[in-house]
Structure 1
Amino acid sequence: MTNVCFHADCSRVIQSGGLSGKVPEALFSFPQLQQVILDYNHFNGTLQLGTSVSKQLNLVSFINNNLSELVTGGYTESLILVGNPLCNQSSNKKYCTRSQQSPVPYSTSVVNCGSNLCPPDQSPSPQSCSCAYPFQGVMYFIAPLVRDVSNRTLFQELEKKLETVLDLTPGSVFLQNVSFNNDFYMQIYVKIFPSSGMYFSRSEIQDIGFDLSNQTFKAPSSFGPYYFIAFTYPFPAVEGRSTMSVGLKIGIAACCALLVIGLLVVTIYALRQRRRAERAIERSKAFGSWTRSGEENSDAPQLKGARWFSYEELRRCTNNFSVSNEIGSGGYGKVYRGMLPGGPIVAIKRAQQGSTQGALEFKTEIELLSRVHHKNLVSLVGFCFDQGEQMLVYEFVPNGTLRESLSGKSGILLDWRRRLRIALGSARGLAYLHELADPPIIHRDVKSSNILLDENLNAKVADFGLSKLISDDEKGHVSTQVKGTMGYLDPEYYLTQQLTDKSDVYSFGVVMLEMITAKQPIVKGKYIVREVKMAIDASDEESYGLKELMDPVIQIATNLIGFRKYTELALRCLEELAADRPTMSDVVKEIEMLLQSNGLSTHSQSASSSTISGSRKDPSEGAFDYSGAYSFSAKPEPK
């Protein structure tokens, strides 16, 4: 029998699915075992708990199996057997009642508020019973040790810790609808009420959302790790606006209604004509198959510089997608290194089964990517739409990611000058997406692991899997579901769900601080942005107060040119309000001016390398822009 454990200590709770056969008696004897939950499996025969049951075992559940007999041995704690044939025996009825299966979930008490009714968009606060607008969301606990959804003591402990860590008055937290979903995650609906008044301020919502979404708040150990999904908060309307009489409002509304009706009639007619024309075009170009680039076929996507690959070609050049050629993976699928006939090395992004999109959407995506050409963006070589496979073929960038170099994984040491040029190259790539691509593109997942370094350590922005196109009628912002990587997320985007190009600017600001500290955005609950802002010392001319936070590779350098201006630029990118941040083209100009004022070139350059053995030397010394030890050759070949 294979067990699946959802907890850090696999000896405490056993859970699994799709199992059959007889339940082994030894299963219940592990000394640290607390719960056995094997519901909805196919176990049969006799359930024999034995005489050596763990003293800590407090719950055994075999709901909806095929067990026909029961021998409890010395076990006297909770035993749930609803839906088994043995429930037909009168001696086992006490283990087969529905009340065991469905205890009443815990909910914060508001009984003392009586029949106080609030408007639909408000709720009574547990602390005062007055109506207010709570901050709401759902906490998902990934590996809870708590299985009893009615355990009042544990849930009250969670309430108190939320109130303490979030600096709230007692009684400000309301919990309800405690349940387990299909992934065995515990989900709790949470309402957090303001200590006074009916609304939270924007800064209060931002602080609470940050603490919950970036794991600053640590739940009691019985609940384990979690993630939090917040609902949009209904901030009050801006005060001070001029008011109009009811009669004037009615008159304006009537005029607008007539105008809208007229426009609707014209628009509906135009849309119908357009749809008829589009359907006629689609019927005349049935999207049945694609052919090799260059052959005459109306179905083939209109590409600029990208070619079609067959599945067989890509299978051969990756040695049947061998594990030895796998160089990365993500939610979309896996990335493989391959060698095309004639020698070019490519990176092949292969969609996993279940994540492939429709043929028309895939065609649109590759047509877009084939038009995006910039030396600081990873180039699309081609695609495969064959035998049910969807694959994108990119240029191979040999020196890995910026994150790998900063962490020391790649063996490459980046001096301060090289980091400035990497920042400049990355900014140029993003500025191109925002201002010169047609239509403009918001990357939406800017981070150090999505910035690749070529053979000369020039930066190339990669991975457009979450990118968002901006159409003409969406200029300014796009309302969309929040996506991205924790620690890099723009707080204004998180609160309003309105994505702008300034969201990329915020993420880039986090990357700029990574190049100073070499630390990931969130480490042991500490957020790099907050740590840097707290450490800033304007009176420190040399290191701006950040000496202790610096990456040791640049900490030993004697002259970090433009360091203060670079840090100030990063902090402006990290302003809480998007309107206060510079554009990516502004960032490019400031980094160029910083380099030029110190006599450094702003053009992409080839870099020399030297292998370090024994000890590291100061990478800021000498004629080279960086020095490092490569962990692989500049032109690796697939195995």
Structure 2
Amino acid sequence: MERERLLLLGVAVALSACWFGSLASAQMIHPGELKALKAIRNNLGDPLKHLRNWKKSDPCTSNWTGVICTQILDDGYLHIQELRLLNKNLTGTLAPELGVLTHVTYLDFMWNNISGSIPKEIGNMTSLQLLLLSGNNISGPLPDELGSLPNITKFQLDLNQISGPLPSSFANLLTVQHFHMNNNSISGQIPPELSKLPKLKHFLLDNNNLSGHLPPQLHMMRSLTILQLDNNKFEGTEIPPTYSNMSRLVKLSLRNCNLTGAIPDFSTIQSLLYLDLSLNYLSGSIPTNKLSSSITTIDLSHNQLTGTIPSNFSGFTQLQKLSLRDNFLSGDVPTNIWQNITFKATSTLNLEFQNNALTNVVGSLNPPPNVTIRLQGNPVCRRENELGIVTYCAPEDGSADAPANYTFLNSSNCPSQHCPGYFEHVPDAPDPCYCAAPLGVGVRLRSPSIYDFRPYADEFRSYVTSNLGLEPYQLVIDSFIWQKGPRLLMFLKLYPEIGNYSGEFSASEVQRLVSDFATFTIIGNDTFGPYDLRNFTLGYYQPDVNLPMSSGMSKGVLAAIVLGSISSAGVTGLAIAFLFYRRHPRNRNQGSRTKSASKLSMKVEGIKEFSFADLEKATSSFDITAQIGQGGYGKVYKGVLGDSTVVAIKRAQQGSLQGQQEFFTEIEFLSRLHHRNLVALVGYCDEESEQMLVYEFMPNGSLQNVLSDRYRSPLSFAVRLSIALGSAKGILYLHTEADPPIIHRDIKANNILIDSRFNAKVADFGISRLAPLPNTDGYVTAHISTNVKGTPGYVDPEYFLTHKLTEKSDVYSLGIVFLELLTGMQPISHGRNIVREVLQACQSGSMFSIIDRSMGPYPSECIKKFMALALKCCEDQTKARPTMLEVVRELENISSMLPETDTIASESEPSISGTGGSASQPLYARRSPYTSTDLIGSDLVSGVIPKISPR
């Protein structure tokens, strides 16, 4: 033990010498700030490990995605002015000592794995202008002290787990321009006091848990251009008529906010480009006053609007999407909406009128080829042959439900000229054979005011290059893809100008371009909205090769050499101690996990062994843009293998690594599990101190994503039932046919994945979830005793109390998933439990009031039986729940009751009971204004719903 203690002491001394030697080398940093940096290092795992070349002559030291800048002030000390550590895989928490850094203007820790809460001491950083913490795991409330930042202009805190209310102290932030706090769990009322903010431009709080009413005072934000509050839980509030006075508003998005009442007259806002009020309960007629002629997107779908489609929709010159689907609109189908639009080759116009009460077409419905019209679900389609509108009444195929994505293909006409190394042909350069080294930049438009980007690509390129001081040909939009929000993820390539015969940017030019993106100095644009920096792909411009070098040797550099020598001596001593430690017989077999010939090897039929290089290439070096998920084990990436196979790569983080024998045992075990409703293992990687599992890729993501994605067309009852049946079959296989059997233990909507045909496949099962096996006497226990694990809301109540895990624990969790499929509710939301809410509705005779209203028409008897099964699965007492075999049989029985047009598509796998349906069905529901009693019932059959005591 004494040897180990001495070794650890040597490690600590050597690392401290290296770190402090590098920091103090160029010039004396203020002692208080140096102490704060030490605390940051302790909390985040040495975040400055790449920033060791401190030089008195350089105000900033960087490797371009990690920057620390200093400034010499009157006291003669160096003071930290910028601290930017973007996408550095930092873990740990934010240190309260950050409050000491009162001269920092830019604090950027975006796209890391930082957890914990935001320290209230950040409110002491009085020089702070940008607080950038997007894409971490930060939780807890927003401190009131953040309202004391006198110079703050941007809060970028989205994609975290921040909870609690929005502090009313934020009303004191008279310089703030951007609130980007979407995709958190912020709750409560929007403070009316925020209406005092004179400079606020962007108010993005979508995908939170806000409640209460919409403050009518927000119209007093005289600089506001974007108000985006989608997917919140406002309590049946109306849209305040005062919002029509927001004279500078460019985008208003209030999708899925429980809004009621009439649509205000927004014709007074002549700057408005984007209006989305879909998935609410708005009623009355559509205002007839003309909106801005430049508007691109109007989405009023999935409401309760009545009356006719106004004629004023024909005056828009930039319109790309008009969605009025799933309302109660009557009268004629308009035939002149596109008459004032001059279409480019890439321009499109999507007109969505499905599922209304439109009865006639006056004149000829003969739009240009750029226009898509959808009329299915209207009475007018009964006359489709007579009116010549068959094309527009055809069933939906989903192709026009989302805007187009794009990938650039460089087709140079210079095959004889080979560009060396990282160099590429610059496609739009005056000389088409010009070769240059690109600098890659990943950005995301947070709230664009357009539906289709393609007609605006040239405008976007001019906008960005003019801000960067480049020519338009120096920027190529390599690819873009629309994400939920909707937000637009883009990958850009910047090239040196053609007069630069070296074909490369200088190091200082790279630093300037990176800094311009990272510090958001690019001036905002109403059409494209605020942007989000995701990553840099440096390629040729790797910092270890091209870091700026200082001319001459200052005293600070000389001091760095001396201290560096001391540090090197410490490291050398540490190395000797480590070798001695390794040579000791007891420790000889410990060391790197890097694969070698002496290590265990394994060949499993059908399972491929991948090299680290294979998977690194498949994911573009595990780029953040390839990340599609994250859990306690690590991250999941989408990858494209060399043979173009798309896969999901599950990369374990250090704390989740197994021993090699255990890892290979799990792979061998997983390779024996084959079922159409289980996610298939493709291969694995075990080298470079990495453990990765490669699975088939599921393009529609998780069931949780499908149910919560309001931008996607809603799922029909038949598809929901099919997902339930597929999930149950997959779990039944784990319980009864896996050898040895598996209790999943974490069944939830996020662990049920959906393939391209909307088949359900169970994920995240493994050797750690084995069911009990017979002991030496042949006796099998009925449970596993284990610490409580699982996801809140899905956990079996008995398991939570007794720590006894059984197959019926999976039945309970699956029952919760069934309730989600039926209601669209979350297991736990605002302190409300889904089982309790559903049970109360059923016992009061109002079961159909809680059915997900986006489902469309459904057979009431099937709903009753499915609901009864779901609640039976959720019984408190284990013995009262059905077995998984009984669950599968009942679901097959329900599917056999579906009308022929809605029957679940047959599968190659035979059904358990032999009653599976055979007809195909549409993937999505269509809500019709004509509902009849055979589709939606009102009273429960006595005895159908089991009695469960509310918890």
TM-score (normalizing by structure 2) = 0.34
Higher RCO (C-alpha 8 Å, min separation 6): 1
* TM-score using structure 1 length: 0.49
